[in-house]
Amino acid sequence: MSQSDAILDRLMSLHPKVIDLSLDRMHRLLAALGNPERRIPPVIHIAGTNGKGSTQAMIRAGLQAGGARVHAYTSPHLARFHERIRLAGDLIAEADLAATLEECEVANAAQPITFFEITTAAAFLAFSRTPADFTLLEVGLGGRLDATNVIDSPRLTVITPVSIDHTQYLGETLPLIAGEKAGIIKRGVPVIVGPQQDEALRVIEAKASGLTAPVFAHGQHWMIAPDRGGMIYQDDHGLWDLPLPNLIGPHQIQNAGTALAALRHLGATDAQARAAATQAEWPARMQRLRHGPLVDLAGPQAELWLDGGHNPAGGEALAATLSAMPPRPTHLVCGMLNTKDIAGYLRPLAAHACSLTAIEIPGEPNTLPAATTAGVAASVGMIAGMADDAAVAVSAIVARDPQARILICGSLYLAGRVLRENG
C-alpha cells in the first residue's frame, strides 16, 4: 500500500456517509488551508449528468494543443486515485499527492468531512502551488452543493446533457435535477449548454437569466452534426470541418460540440479544434481492450470492449454506438451498483445483445447481486445468465461464440477493476 493509499483510507472514516451534500464543511476546511481555491488558475467548471469527462478531455486536448498548461480534476478514478488530479497536464506524483492529502488531514483536525470534500480540497491546494493557464473542474454530483462549487468567479461554466440519475440526492424530476446542475452558474459568467431536453433547458436558461450570465446553447447559438465521415461545428464565428472524435460513439459528436463551443469562447484556433476532436483520450468510454489476461482469455477472434455508462442515458448512448459499429454477435458482461436504474439502463441495449452475463463488482459493498441483474435483464427481453466474475463470463462466451464482440459494462467501478487487472 502506498503512502497516499494509507492516508485515503484514513480519510474515508471521517464521515459516516459517503454522500452528504453541503458546502459548510468545505468552506471550513478551505479557510483552514488559507483558501487555496482563490489562487488557482482560471476555472472552467463542468456539470451535467452524462459526458462531463469526455467533454473535459476534449477541452483539455484543445487547450494543450495551443500550448496551454492545464490542471484537471475529475472523479471517480478508475485504476488509481492519482487519475483525479492532473497538474499542468501530468497526473499528480505520489509524493505530492501524499503530502497534500496529509496537509489537508492535519488542517481538518479530525472534524467530520466527506471523502470527496477533503480530496477536492487537496486538489485545490495542489492546483494553487503549480503554475498553469487553466483549471478544468468537473463536478462530482449535482452542482449547487457539490464540493467543487466554491469557485466564485470561474472563467466559464459548462453544462453537459442532463438526465435522470442520483434521484435520491438531486430530485425525482428532470427540472429538479437541472436546477441542481445549474447551481454552478455564476453572475455574469458565460455558460456553454450542451444538448438538453426542453424542460431541462428552460430551468438552465432561467437560472442564467437571473444571474445575467450569457448563454451559448446547443441548437440556438451553436450546432454540430456528422458530415461525410467527419463532423461540422458551426456558430456565429464560423464553421469548423473536423474529423470524427477520437472517442467512439455517436454521442461523442455531441460532447465534441460542447467542448468546441467552450474552446471557441476561449479563442481556440482551427488547429486546437482539430486536436480536441482527434487527441482526446478518456478510458472506459467504449474502450477497446487490446492486452491483458481478459484479452488473452477472449482469444484472437473476439473483440473485448469496456464501457462505464450506468444510467438510462448511458444505455441509450451505448445502444447508438453499437448500432453504428460493424455487425458482430454482441454479448454483454454486466455488473451494476444497487443505486442505479438497471432496467432503464438495459432496456435500450436489449435489441443489440445476444446475451447478458451478470456478475457482481468485486470488492464493492453496493454491488447489485448478479441474480438481480440477470432477472432485470430477462425482464427487458435479454437472454441472461450469471458468472462468478468477468474472466469466467468471457471464457464461457468465447467457448460458444469465438468471434463474439464482448462488452463489459454497467459501472465505472467495474470498469476500474477491469482496467487495474488488465492494465
- The tens digit of pLDDT for each residue in 294-303 reads 999 999 999 9
Least trusted range by pLDDT, from 41-45, 152-156, 245-249, 268-272:
245-249
pTM of the model: 0.90
* Rg of the chain taking only CA atoms, in angstroms: 21
Alpha-carbon gap, residue 47 to 159, rounded angstroms: 5
For residues 200-211, average pLDDT: 97
Task: Please indicate whether residue 338 or residue 95 has the higher confidence score (pLDDT).
Answer: 95
Give the pLDDT confidence score for residue 310 in this predicted structure. 76
- pLDDT tier for residue 167 given thresholds of 50, 70 and 90: low
Q: Which of 253, 280, 276 is nearest to 265 (CA)?
A: 276
Residue type, 166: H
165 pLDDT above the threshold of 90: no
Per-residue pLDDT tens for 47-64? 999 899 999 999 999 999
For residues 399-422, average pLDDT: 93
Give the pLDDT confidence score for residue 79 in this predicted structure. 87
Which CATH topology does 3-278 take? UDP-N-acetylmuramoyl-L-alanine:D-glutamate ligase (3.40.1190)
Give the pLDDT confidence score for residue 26 in this predicted structure. 97
SS3 400: helix
Alpha-carbon gap, residue 256 to 231, rounded angstroms: 10
Give the pLDDT confidence score for residue 311 in this predicted structure. 84
Per-residue pLDDT tens for 65-87? 999 999 999 998 988 999 999 99
Q: What are the domain boundaries of the chain?
A: 3-278, 287-422
The answer to whether residues 348 and 307 touch, using CB atoms and an 8 Å cutoff, is: no
- pLDDT tier for residue 22 given thresholds of 50, 70 and 90: confident
- pLDDT tier for residue 230 given thresholds of 50, 70 and 90: very high
336 pLDDT above the threshold of 80: yes
Give the pLDDT confidence score for residue 151 in this predicted structure. 97
Alpha-carbon gap, residue 83 to 119, rounded angstroms: 12
For 74-129, list the strands marked E by DSSP: 85-87, 90-91
Q: Which of 200, 276, 204, 190 is nearest to 233 (CA)?
A: 276
Alpha-carbon gap, residue 259 to 277, rounded angstroms: 9
- pLDDT tier for residue 20 given thresholds of 50, 70 and 90: confident
423 pLDDT above the threshold of 70: no
DSSP string across 189-237: --EEE-S--HHHHHHHHHHHHHTT--EEEBTTTEEEEEETTEEEEEETT
Give the pLDDT confidence score for residue 329 in this predicted structure. 97
Alpha-carbon gap, residue 121 to 335, rounded angstroms: 31
168 pLDDT above the threshold of 80: no
The DSSP secondary-structure symbol of 74 reads: -
Give the pLDDT confidence score for residue 18 in this predicted structure. 66
Which CATH topology does 287-422 take? Protein-Tyrosine Phosphatase; Chain A (3.90.190)
Per-residue pLDDT tens for 248-294? 989 999 999 999 999 999 999 999 999 999 999 988 889 999 999 99
Supply the mean pLDDT for the chain.
94
State what percent of residues in the chain have pLDDT above 70. Answer: 98
Return the ∠ at Cα 303 (arms to 372 and 387), rounded to 5°: 25
Per-residue pLDDT tens for 114-137? 999 999 999 999 999 999 999 999
Write the CA distances from 383 to 55, 197, 332, 352, 372, integer angstroms.
34, 32, 10, 11, 14
**b/e per residue 264-287 (b: at least 16 CB within 10 A):** bbbebeeebbbbbbbbbebbbbbb
Task: Please indicate whether residue 167 or residue 19 has the higher confidence score (pLDDT).
Answer: 19
Residue type, 293: P
For residues 235-257, average pLDDT: 95
Alpha-carbon gap, residue 83 to 168, rounded angstroms: 27
